Amino acid sequence: MSELAVEYSAMSNRPLFIPVILGTVRQGRASENVAKFVFEQVKKRDGVETEFVDVRELNFPATDAGEQIKDPKFSQLCERADGLVLVVPEYNHGYPGMLKHVLDSNLKEYIHKAVGICGVSAGGFGATRMIENMLPVMRELGLVTIFWDGNFSGAQKLFDENGAIHDEATHVTRIDKFLGELVWMSKVLRYGRENISL
Amino acid sequence: MSNNEPMICSKCGAAMNHHAMKIDYSGGLPGHDPAFDGPLQEVHTCPNCGHTELREV
């Protein structure tokens, strides 16, 4: 048996891993451009590795739910993650059912990890209602939410025909703050998971 | 209640850190503490490779 560490060790020096998850399967989804924009911002962060996950491509079955339908590759990605970015549209004041279906397939993989939510809305409120509805779900999954959100309003008019965001500087500035807090929380929680015992 | 022996990571062999306790609502073994709605699971993370494992209390 390995010796039990009796002193706090330095945090493991693997880069942080923070994937970006696009949380809707809808055809013609405006959130896709938002997710790609956010993904590009995460990629620029020093010391952070990331992957783009599209729930549409995960192909979860609709005939069962929960950990019985675990997708090994998605579960492994969540286990490796130190934090998650969820890019989620607001549908009827709530979050997409397929996203919940996918998230519910894991549990231990999320415990004491950070999550930041980017809301996407057609209207002017940046999906704040959806975000408020997601928070209790995040909490029950063991995820720790940050106090910064990404809010993307008027989604259909936010990007040009080439997928480039209008007023890029403003959105980059906002997402920079969001990611700063998410990276901080991801580091703190990794240290806690690896060194602070219950 | 809790097993004081550290869990050993099944991936790399390092001693894991027990950092959380969660109720298992998925219909685990009977005989759990009636104060909770299901058996308690210890959550352990490996400080070496980041792997996470559960152990029932």
Nearest in space to A124 (alpha carbons), one of A158, A95, A100, A96 = A158
Q: A195 to chain B, minimum CA–CA distance in Å?
A: 6
Average pLDDT, chain A: 93
What is the crossing angle of helices A31-43 and A168-195, to 10°?
Answer: 60
Size of interface A-B (CB pairs under 8 A): 67
Tens of pLDDT, residue by residue over A65-107, are 999 999 999 999 999 999 999 999 999 999 999 999 999 999 9
The residue whose two tokens read 């070496």 is B48
Res B23: pLDDT = 86
The one-letter amino acid code at A125 reads F
The CA distance from A61 to A76, in Å, is 18
Res B29: pLDDT = 60
Cβ(B44)–Cβ(B24) under 8 Å?
no
Res B1: pLDDT = 43
The CA distance from A25 to B41, in Å, is 33
Cβ(A150)–Cβ(A180) under 8 Å?
no
What does pTM read for this prediction?
A: 0.90
The one-letter amino acid code at B15 reads A
Confidence of residue B37 (pLDDT cuts 50, 70, 90): confident
Q: A109 to chain B, minimum CA–CA distance in Å?
A: 7
Res B34: pLDDT = 75
Q: With an 8 Å Cβ cutoff, are A67 and B26 in contact?
A: yes
Which residues have a Cβ under 8 Å from the Cβ of B8 and sit 6 or more positions away? A1, A2, B14, B15, B16
Q: With an 8 Å Cβ cutoff, are A194 and B46 in contact?
A: yes
Three-class SS of residue B48?
coil
The residue whose two tokens read 């952070």 is A48
| DSSP conformation class of B10 | T
Q: Does residue A2 carry a pLDDT above 50?
A: no
Q: Does residue A9 carry a pLDDT above 60?
A: no
* Residue A155: half-sphere exposure toward Cβ, Cα within 13 Å: 26
The CA distance from A89 to A104, in Å, is 18
Question: Which positions in chain B touch A80 (Cβ < 8 Å)?
Answer: 50
User: What ipTM describes this predicted complex?
Assistant: 0.82
Three-class SS of residue A188?
helix
Of A12, A107, A112, the CB nearest to B19: A112
Q: A72 to chain B, minimum CA–CA distance in Å?
A: 14
Mutate to test the interface with A, among B45, B49, B56 (most CBs of A within 10 A): B45
Q: With an 8 Å Cβ cutoff, are B17 and A67 in contact?
A: no
**In sequence order, what are the beta bridge partners of A117?**
A86
CA max distance for chain A: 60
Say yes or no: A139 contacts chain B, CB-CB below 8 A.
Answer: no
Q: With an 8 Å Cβ cutoff, are B15 and A197 in contact?
A: no
Phi, psi of B27 (to 5 degrees): 90, 55
Say yes or no: A122 contacts chain B, CB-CB below 8 A.
Answer: no
Confidence of residue B28 (pLDDT cuts 50, 70, 90): low
Strand A83-89 relative to strand B40-45, pairing: unpaired
Q: With an 8 Å Cβ cutoff, are A142 and B26 in contact?
A: no
Tens of pLDDT, residue by residue over A131-145, are 999 999 999 999 999
Write the DSSP string, A30-62: THHHHHHHHHHHHHTSTTEE--EEEHHHH---S
Confidence of residue B27 (pLDDT cuts 50, 70, 90): low
